[in-house]
Amino acid sequence: MADYDEIRAALNHIGADDRDMWIRMGAAVKDEMGEDGFHLWDEWSQTSGNYNTRDAKSGLEVVQSWTYQYRYIVLSCPAERLAT
């Protein structure tokens, strides 16, 4: 199981503007951290110029039914960014 800081570091290398990616990352964070991961996902979501608090809360409802694992977050990171 990945810890909060590890997930945060990985998310920092992924843009939050793409809605599909945003939902997938939310599902992965939730799968890894449960409801406690919402704050982390919401914090990352705020890096998007499209951020909307209401969307984040409704996005969480969509995420409830999806399952992605932490490894999906890592695999979504550009390789050159993970090396730094």
Give residue-wise pLDDT tens across range 50-76. 898 888 777 766 666 556 655 667 667
What's the CA gap between 54 and 2, in Å, rounded? 28
The predicted structure's pLDDT at residue 63:
65
Q: What is the pTM of this model?
A: 0.72
| Residue matched to tokens 């979504």 | 76
- Is-contact 3 32, C-beta < 8 A? no
